[in-house]
Amino acid sequence: MSFAPALHAEWIKIRTLRSLLGALAAILVATAAFSALASADADGSDPLFSVFFGVSFGQIAAIAFGTTAVSSEFRGGALRLTLSAVPDRGRWFAAKATAIALPALAVGLFTGFVTLLAGRAVLGASAPGWAEGVRGAVGCGLHLTLMALFAAGLATVLRSGVATLSVLIPFLLIVSFVVGDVSGGVADFLPDRAGQVALHSARQGTLGPWSGLAVTALWAAAALLGGWWRLDRGDA
């Protein structure tokens, strides 16, 4: 089977699994809701981050989406059936990653602009400018997509959705709310912190908005490469 039919088959899996559609919806709801609450209680020190504060919670839904999309293949012999149709494991994994990335990006960008409009409405005159806001909305979409891919790669390495979520969710919560305030150190280069630099009005630490997203992209690429290596050498 060539790449296009493999991608189409993976897309059918995603749009027919309620858990995956629910995770995509949760990205929008969690990000927009928590961002609106933060905007209503903003102190004006960083209006852009107040608008996009909910990304810290939306990214949990994004990793749940990426994890579930992959981990479903490792239950009940589903992967053996998949590979019987697409024997080239690299091609199948590329199709799976693309099928995860495209809806995650679409929902992430939509979430970013909905959140921006809601935040500007709440903040009024203290809202960030349009140029800065659009940068934040695009950064929001890219960050959520990269976190979904990072989770997908790790789930392929671990071959377990429970194990992946057990690692990533505590990691995100601890780093974001405990270690994350340490600026200029190792925490700035962790995947969730680096990607969120694009959501701040002022530059923090050593990374800029796009270099921060590039660091998160490297984490996602490393996880996907690890997943491909594990898939290529493991049993179905």
Please give the C-alpha separations between residue 94 and each of 22, 86, 88, 97, in angstroms, as whole numbers: 23, 11, 10, 5
Number of residues that make up the chain: 236
CB atoms within 10 A of CB 171: 15
pLDDT tens for 122-168 read 888 777 888 999 999 999 999 999 999 999 999 999 999 999 999 99
Residue where the block lists tokens 């349009």: 130
Q: Are the C-beta atoms of 157 and 55 separated by less than 8 Å? A: no
The pTM for the full model equals 0.93
State how far the Cα of 85 lies from the Cα of 80, in Å rounded to an integer: 9
The percent of residues above 70 in pLDDT, for the chain, comes to 93
Q: What is the pLDDT of residues 180-209, one digit of tens each?
A: 555 556 778 889 888 999 998 877 678 889
CA–CA distance, 190 with 115 (Å, rounded to integer): 24
pLDDT tens per residue, range 5-46: 889 889 999 999 899 999 999 999 999 999 998 888 777 678
* Higher pLDDT, residue 130 or 76: 130
- Do residues 58 and 30 make contact, with C-beta atoms less than 8 angstroms apart? yes
Q: Tell me, what's the pLDDT at 82?
A: 83
